Structure 1
Amino acid sequence: MKIKLFILAISILSLSVSCEKKMDKIFDENPTDRLNASVADVYSTLQSNKDGWVVKYFPSSALEFGGYTLFAKFNNLADVTFEGDLTTLAPQTSTYIVVPGAGPILTFDTYNRIFHYFALPGYFNRNAAYQLPGFLTAQIGAVNEGMKGENDFLVTKASGDSIVMEGRKSYNKVVFLPIKSNEASTIIASYRAAVAKFHAFSNYRFEAGTESFPATFATAATKRALLIAGNAKPYAYRYTPTGLDFYTEYDVNGVKFRELKYVEPTGAYSKGYFTNDAETIKLVPGT
């Protein structure tokens, strides 16, 4: 009996020592060190893809202005260069910084004519000096808000396959996807061509099953978000070379979708249509 008790005591002591060692490893780094390490990791990841990143950007929390595709290249620890699908403006370089906060905070801290257009109040974006070639030539959004974009983002994921952030005001998700080397020379032109092609469409309707649902633009000037009767929130999307990429999964008449691909004109669809892979829903531009 004494031997059994002795063995049990040794086992408990060994377990206690093992747990203490694990706890020591967990708490070897203090929170400040861990946060600083995550900041360094974000800096490294941003610069890791020399061909840059495709940025899915929806500036307003209400999504009424829809989404835009930006192209960002982090040249070094300080400089970032932006281009966009919404404008033919030449690449614009400004600065950025990553600082510790609730997590790593990415801040675009000096003015970039492309990126910060979304954060300009309407008072400024109605001024030709701030407008973007190929985009709008009039005020968009309220005088004091504009398109409700922002400068500061909480980085929630940073890896080679994607970077995910949240706007610190809007809480909108912003996703960075790496540009592949074999598409780097053509990707921007392909997105701009998609905008030129699809932006011309209007008078949309959703077809789901045997029912049809007329859709109007949440903001007629941008034509990147749709409203249908009975839904207060817009169906916000970006233009892509294959069709429309929506901010989140949406539902029309019980049919869920996140991406709709364009089908060229055929039969009764004189302007073509957008559909999901299962072809259970169509978004049809009118004449």
Structure 2
Amino acid sequence: MKIKNIFKFLIFALLAMQLGSCNDNTDAEQKFDQNPTDRLNAQKKELSDVLLTSEHGWKAVYFTDNTQLGGFTHLFKFSSDGKVEMASDFDGDTDAYESAYSVELGSAVSLLFTTKNRIHLLSDSDNSPTDALEGKGYKGDFQFLYYGQENGEIIFKTNRSFQELRFVKATEEDWENLAQNVIMGENVVGGEERPLFRLLETNDGTTTHQFDFIFSEAPRFASANSIETGYAVSYNMGIAYTPTGISVSPAVEVKGQKLTDFVYNDTDGSFTATGTGGVSATIKYTTKPLILTDDYKGLLDGNDFKVYGYISPFLTNAITTSTLCKELLDEINASLPATQQLTRVQLYFNDGGYNYIEYRFSGGRPTLYHNVTTSENAVDKTIVLTHDSWQTATALIPAPALLKKIDDEFTNPKGLYVKKENFKVVYSNVVWTFTSASSNFRITTYALN
């Protein structure tokens, strides 16, 4: 072929390619014939319409931050006049309340709860469940960006943290049973009749593993760490209450199976998630610590002077201060004038050869001291405090009736489990706990020297 003809052929080919490209662009324009404003308006109408389609409204289990917080169930029933009925299991009030909402058009379409209702409890920065979240509240949101629908669910992303939140169609039973979530929360916390100690046990079909389990009520968050040497596995999970148990996020993964839904057994207080092939995970009680420490040994006679103090109010709501302990403290304070409250309980060991429990009051009420001797229960790994005498700063006195119940817990014949904890509360002092080996009494203290 002559060079002249080749040149003509190439020009023809390029023209053909350009014509094809024009045709492709025309097709693309036909597919995207709406401008951005029209598309957003269409999405706005789509969301406005779908919010009204569910007979009993919508349900969302909102995990605001599952690295430190649990989930809160919210129910919504929208009406075309911009009103919404809303209920939640945030606290004991599960009644439905009316407020306003709108579907907003900005850079994206969003659902905005415009007047205060239950969802705003999670975004209130003054409502913080832990010291670490002071000024942040529960890290919640009340504006949700619309991302479409899938399998009958509405997909949103939160405006602040951009995390996914799904609305699923609610049922009549969801509204009727919401109060059962609150009752289930009490089962998760555990009643006085239940032991203090818990464990998470996983089963992969052939092998079981055990983890200590600590649940914190206000943030609805739990941690579980392996007690086995050489098995460095742990789970941290946010917990949401359901009428039949709990759901967790992230899931507890066992042999590749993600277990999220745990069913409650009222007989023994356990929660069990069941997979396939024998895979399961169970949260259950145990009557003593999974690991018995030797921390008590340093408090026996002949060791260095040590003092540990419970200080109100800083340690009152520590996760390790048991309900029974708080009740006994409240009972003492309720019997005293408001200006004379029990503010400190301190345990002294090897103070010049003496051991004693100090009960310190406000308002000028005299401090009381219970002198005790110490001994070791090597089998159960407890320290046993035995009565010697009672005194004020100046004289011996009879045992005070005011302190009998709480003091009986310290001096129970089975002794106290002693544990140096690995967390802090408000201050940098090391936290130690003293737990009765015969009841649900556990007090949280600071190491003071």
Specify the TM-score bucket, using the shorter chain as the normaliser. Answer: 0.7 to 0.9
* Within-5 A mapping of 1:16-165: 18-59=23-64, 61=65, 63-86=67-90, 87-112=92-117, 114-122=118-126, 125=127, 140-141=129-130, 142-158=133-149, 161-165=152-156
Using the size of structure 1 for normalisation, the TM-score is 0.75
Would you say the 8 A contact 2:257–2:275 is kept in 1? Answer: no
Q: Deviations over 1:5-40 (max 9, x none)?
A: 9xx99x979856753441231342111211121121
Would you say the 8 A contact 1:97–1:106 is kept in 2? Answer: yes
Would you say the 8 A contact 2:67–2:238 is kept in 1? Answer: yes
Q: Distance in 1 between matches of 2:82 and 2:52?
A: 10
Which residue matches 2:279? Answer: 280
1:239 aligns with 2:220: no
Which residue matches 1:129? Answer: none
**Taking CA–CA contacts closer than 8 Å with sequence separation of 6 or more, which of the two structures ends up with the larger relative contact order?**
1
SS at match of 1:22: helix
Letter in 1 for 2:273: T
Which residue matches 2:269? Answer: 271
Is the alpha carbon distance of 1:14 and 1:280 closer, same or farther for their aligned partners in structure 2, counting shifts above 3 Å?
A: same
Q: Distance in 2 between matches of 1:220 and 1:65?
A: 10
Q: Aligned residue pairs: how many?
A: 257
Letter in 2 for 1:65: L
The alpha carbon displacement at 1:285 in A equals 2.7
Is the alpha carbon distance of 1:265 and 1:108 closer, same or farther for their aligned partners in structure 2, counting shifts above 3 Å?
A: closer
Q: Which runs of 5+ in 2 are unaligned?
A: 1-8, 191-196, 226-231, 287-449
SS at match of 2:285: coil
The alpha carbon displacement at 1:108 in A equals 1.1
Is the alpha carbon distance of 1:46 and 1:276 closer, same or farther for their aligned partners in structure 2, counting shifts above 3 Å?
A: same
The alpha carbon displacement at 1:277 in A equals 2.7
Letter in 1 for 2:169: P
SS at match of 2:146: strand
Which residue matches 1:134? Answer: none
Is the alpha carbon distance of 1:20 and 1:145 closer, same or farther for their aligned partners in structure 2, counting shifts above 3 Å?
A: closer
Q: Distance in 2 between matches of 1:81 and 1:205?
A: 39
Q: Distance in 2 between matches of 1:159 and 1:95?
A: 26
The alpha carbon displacement at 1:159 in A equals 5.6
Which residue matches 1:205? Answer: 199
Which residue matches 1:214? Answer: 212
Please report the RMSD computed on the Cα atoms of aligned residues, expressed in angstroms: 3.2
Q: Deviations over 1:98-123 (max 9, x none)?
A: 223342122112111x111111123x
Would you say the 8 A contact 2:221–2:239 is kept in 1? Answer: yes
Would you say the 8 A contact 2:184–2:245 is kept in 1? Answer: no
From 148, 152, 167, give the equivalent of 2:158. 167
Letter in 2 for 1:272: S
Q: Deviations over 1:115-136 (max 9, x none)?
A: 11111123xx4xxxxxxxxxxx
Query: Which has the larger share of strand?
Result: 2
1:227 aligns with 2:223: yes
Report the structure number with the largest CA radius of gyration.
2
